[in-house]
Amino acid sequence: PGTPIMTNPDEIEPIEIGTWEQLRSGGDIAILAVGSMVEPALKAAKLLEEKGVSSEIINARFVKPLDEKMLDELIARHDRWLTVEENVVAGGFGSAVLESLHLRMSEDADAVRVRLMGIPDRFTEHGTREEVLVDVHLSAADIVETAIGFLSESHPDTINAVPAPLS
C-alpha cells in the first residue's frame, strides 16, 4: 500500500485518447510496453545501456486505438521493435501492432521486424506475480536477453513475429 498523493484536478494535464508516451529515446531498438510491463521495460533499458545497446521505450498506454502517429514515427526511426505485454500474445497488443504495420503496405513498414513478448497461450503455473513473470519470460532480464538476441539476428527474411520462448 502506498501513500496517496494529493493533487489538484485542475492541474492535471489531460491525456489524449490513443496517444502513447516516449519515456526514453534510443537508436538500436524500440520497446513498446503496455501497462505493468512499462517498469520492467525501463529497467531493461538501463541494463541494455550497460551492454552498449540504446533502446527507445514507449509507454503504449492505449492498446486501442493504437497511436498511429507514433507508429509512423517509430517506422522512421527503428527497424527492430519489441512489444512487451502482460497478456496472451495471440490476439494481443503485439498482434495489433503487426496488423497495423501490415495494413500500411509500405516499404518502410515492411522493413520493420517485430518480436512479441507476452504470455504464451498455455497453462501457467500458479505463483506470485514475480514468479509467474519469470516463468513466462517477462522479467527485465528476459527483455534484455530477447532484445540482444533479436538485434544479433542478421537474416532480413526471417519471420516478423516471434513470441517469447514457451518453456
Closest CA relative to residue 32, chosen from 71, 90, 76, 69: 71
17 backbone φψ class: left, alpha, beta (φ>0; ψ -120 to 50): beta
Q: pLDDT of 13-63, one tens digit each?
A: 889 999 999 999 999 999 999 999 999 999 999 999 999 999 999 999 999
pLDDT mean across residues, the chain: 89
As for how many domains the chain has, the answer is 1
166 assigned to some structural domain: no
Q: Is the pLDDT of residue 97 over 50?
A: yes
148 assigned to some structural domain: yes
Coil, strand or helix at 80:
strand
Contact (Cβ atoms closer than 8 angstroms) between residue 94 and residue 161: yes
Residue type, 102: H
Note down the domain range covering 74.
16-152
5 assigned to some structural domain: no
Q: Is the pLDDT of residue 165 over 50?
A: no
Give the pLDDT of residue 167: 43
| C-alpha distance across the termini of the chain, in Å | 33
C-alpha–C-alpha distance, residues 56 and 130, integer Å: 24
* 81 pLDDT tier (thresholds 50, 70, 90): very high
pTM for the full model?
0.85
124 assigned to some structural domain: yes
CATH code at position 82 = 3.40.50.920
